[in-house]
Amino acid sequence: MAQIRYSKDHEYIRVEGGEGIVGISDHAQSQLGDVVFAEAPKAGRQVKAGEAVAVVESVKAASDVFAPASGEVVAANAEVEATPGIINEDALGRGWLFRLKLADPSELDALMDESAYAAYLKTLD
């Protein structure tokens, strides 16, 4: 089963093989409301953990999406850029933003697993 980790900025990274699939959490999409625009980084871009690399806009706000880990962007989700509402429908599935070839998989250790993220969300209420 794929390992999924979360950042305090509400990005997720789901690791499959040596790649991380990155998007915003279900909590983040529900806070944003209807997503009307999404822009992912282009393939080939080198990103560092914590760097703003993508943008998601809703009818309420625009939000930067930060890279949860360092590496090279290997693909952007063209489907989400064409139909951003997919993020609202399936944030953790079809609503991913980009795929990342991980530079240092140990960076994932600094992120939260699903139970830690759920506990973190309770502190935000």
Task: Tell me the per-residue pLDDT of 84-96, one tens digit each, with 9 for 90 and over.
Answer: 999 999 999 999 9
Q: What is the pTM of this model?
A: 0.94
Q: Distance (Å, rounded) from C-alpha 16 to C-alpha 50?
A: 21
**Number of structural domains the chain divides into:** 1
pLDDT of residue 2: 64
Q: Is the dihedral of CA 26, 28, 32, 37 positive or negative?
A: negative
Q: Is it the case that residue 1 has pLDDT exceeding 80?
A: no
Under the phi-then-psi rule, with left for phi > 0, alpha for psi from -120 to 50, and beta for the rest, what region is 10? Answer: left
Count of H-run helices and E-run strands, the chain = 4, 9
Q: Is it the case that residue 4 has pLDDT exceeding 70?
A: yes
Segments forming the whole domain that contains residue 118: 3-122
Contact 4, 114 (CB under 8 A): yes
pLDDT in tens, 23-77: 999 999 999 999 999 999 999 999 999 999 999 999 989 999 999 999 999 999 9
Section 80-85 average pLDDT: 97
Domain CATH code at residue 110: 2.40.50.100
